[in-house]
A = this chain, B = another copy of it.
Amino acid sequence: MEGISKKIYMELSEPTQEDSRSDQVRILDELKAWGIEGKISYQAMRQLYPVCEHSGWKFTASLAFNGNMWEVTALEEGNTSDRHYGFAIDLGSTTVVVSLVDCNTGKCVEKASTFNRQITYGTDILTRIFHCKDKPDQLEAVRQATIDSICHTMKILEKKTGIPAASCIQAVIAGNTTMIHFLLGMDPFCVFHTPYAVRADRPGYIKGCELSLPVNGYVYIFPAKSNYLGGDIISGMVATEIYKQDKICVFFDIGTNGELVMGNKEFLLCGAGAAGPALEGGVVKTGMRAEDGAVETVKLEQGEFKLGVIGGGAPKGICGSGIVDMIAELFLNGWINIQGKFVPEKSPKIRKMEEEWAVEYAPDLYFYQEDIDEFLKTKSAAYTMVEIMMKETGITMEDIDKFYVAGAFGRHVSKESAITIGMYPDMERDRIINAGNTSLLGAEKALTDKEVLDDIEGILDHMTYIQFGAVDDFLQMMVAARAIPHTHMERFPSVMAKLKGEIYESHSTH
């Protein structure tokens, strides 16, 4: 498997009066023998001496693919071809994750993540966008913060592994359209503003030095399909390989926004919608990030809460996965009804707090009626996206082979609870796949498999974008999906069985 970088060890004859080809031509001729028509970058030209001579003409060339051809980007004395590294980067609005990849094995050596320093300019994306709108200096500051975040994360990896960032040849970055606009210093107001024509959605290969990133070759940036369907989703396609499958799969990435792709090698329907910050604990009064003190699992047994707390200490608040568990448990125990409204007579823990019902899930920590209502909006948006797509295509749940849930949400949330509240469709549990950080995984794949780049062109061509808001019954469907698990409860047979205390047997043909 050929990636987008190479390291080639060469043993060349030294120049003589009979053969006084330049060092440059000597190397290019050798590359031709390897079937490579290449060039030598300016930086590598400056390394020709003393590397070639000092190594006795036994040295290793780093090669970067630049989208058109191979380029020698660095020279090292001796045979260093066993040390061949690159970076895969998931540029998230909250977190920047960098994977140091061994390009010889295609495996991640080490991963590191840090908060995106853009947060200084706004915790949510819209604040950052308005901060920069028509203010080139502030945009430049956000761009710089983005680069700093990546460089800082690379430095952490350098310390952890002893592998210098500057010895890495290529980097691949996947991120949503706004993140890529910030990365390249392009005003991203367009991403959220009609007619949603973005500045650039095919950034391609940019020299590391142009971006002030420490790789000696290029940075490949995943293209976007549209304003809301960014490179992170395209990277997710690459990671899950939905676009290669015979059977139909669903890819679902849910965070502040929800992005959805349904399809196989024949077609790829895609759409995106606002999901709201509920999933990240944003609107829940005692909500918090998934860090020490956050309740991440909730069980309700004989009227008492059993909480799983990150770090094991006393609970300080509740994070996304805890919220999903919480609502599922409240519902299964009848503490909230199908509309998600508290049933106060069910427990003395349900109390009126400042004119609003709430349940005390830990000493002095309350989960409010408003928290539930807000979250149900989010989950109904998520479910409705899937429903619309099925409706548009005539595909039924039975046709779906796999349901990939990407990102932190998929990784942490209990499938069981997500189905109970009607956020995931009710299907065989092993067909629901927590796909992990597919943005990062797709970037790793593109780094180590050059054919993926051709695939990406195909993915973009195949994708058809559905505007959810333009669908006729959209609002009606949203309302129906707000119930727990759904107004049409027959769609959730396993949840119905649970409510009856039965064990549900799947009738799926899969």
Contact = CB atoms under 8 A, between A and B. Distances in A.
Interface of A: 15-17, 19-26, 28, 39-40, 42-43, 45-46, 48-50, 67-69, 134, 184-187, 190, 194-204, 206-207, 209-211, 226-227
Kindly report how many copies of this chain are found in the complex they form together. 2
Contact of A48 (B17, B22, B40, B199): B199
Given A20-B196, A49-B186, 17 more contacts: A17-B195, A20-B195, A20-B226, A21-B197, A22-B197, A22-B202, A23-B197, A23-B198, A26-B197, A39-B204, A45-B184, A45-B203, A46-B185, A49-B187, A49-B190, A49-B199, A50-B134
A23 B226 contact: no
A146 B194 CA distance: 50
Contacts of A28: 202
A340 B197 CA distance: 80
Contacts of A19: 197
A40 B226 contact: no
A67 B37 CA distance: 13
Contacts of A195: 15-17, 20
Contact of A68 (B20, B68, B186): B68
A19 B196 CA distance: 10
A interface: dominant SS: loop
Nearest to A202: B24
A235 B100 CA distance: 46
A66 to B, nearest CB: 9
A190 B23 CA distance: 10
Contact of A42 (B21, B42, B48, B184): B184
Contacts of A227: 20
Given A42-B210, A190-B49, A199 B23 contact: yes
A43 B143 CA distance: 13
Contacts of A197: 15, 19-23, 26
Contacts of A26: 197
B48 A186 contact: yes
Nearest to A18: B195
Contacts of A187: 49-50
B20 A200 contact: no
A52 to B, nearest CB: 9
Nearest to A44: B200
Given A46-B184, A49-B186, A25 B196 contact: no
Nearest to A227: B20
A455 B296 CA distance: 70
12 contacts: A16-B195, A20-B197, A20-B227, A22-B201, A24-B199, A26-B197, A42-B210, A45-B184, A46-B185, A48-B186, A49-B199, A68-B68
A379 to B, nearest CB: 29
A210 B211 contact: no
A69 B20 CA distance: 31
A154 B431 CA distance: 66
B201 A17 contact: no
Contacts of A16: 195
A204 B67 CA distance: 18
Instruction: State the 6 A-B residue pairs at the shortest beta-carbon distance, nearest first.
Output: A15-B197, A24-B200, A20-B197, A22-B201, A48-B199, A17-B195
Contact of A22 (B23, B43, B199): B199
A83 B44 CA distance: 35
Contacts of A69: 68
Contacts of A48: 186, 199-200
A25 B226 CA distance: 12
A201 B24 contact: yes
Given A45-B186, A68-B68, A186-B48, A22 B210 contact: no
Nearest to A197: B15
Contacts of A24: 199-202
A507 to B, nearest CB: 43
A200 B17 contact: no
B68 A200 contact: no
Contact of A201 (B15, B25, B42): B25
A103 to B, nearest CB: 24
Nearest to A17: B195
Given A46-B185, A184-B42, A22 B200 contact: yes
Task: Choose among A49, A68, A184 the residue with the greatest number of B CB atoms under 10 Å from its CB.
Answer: A49
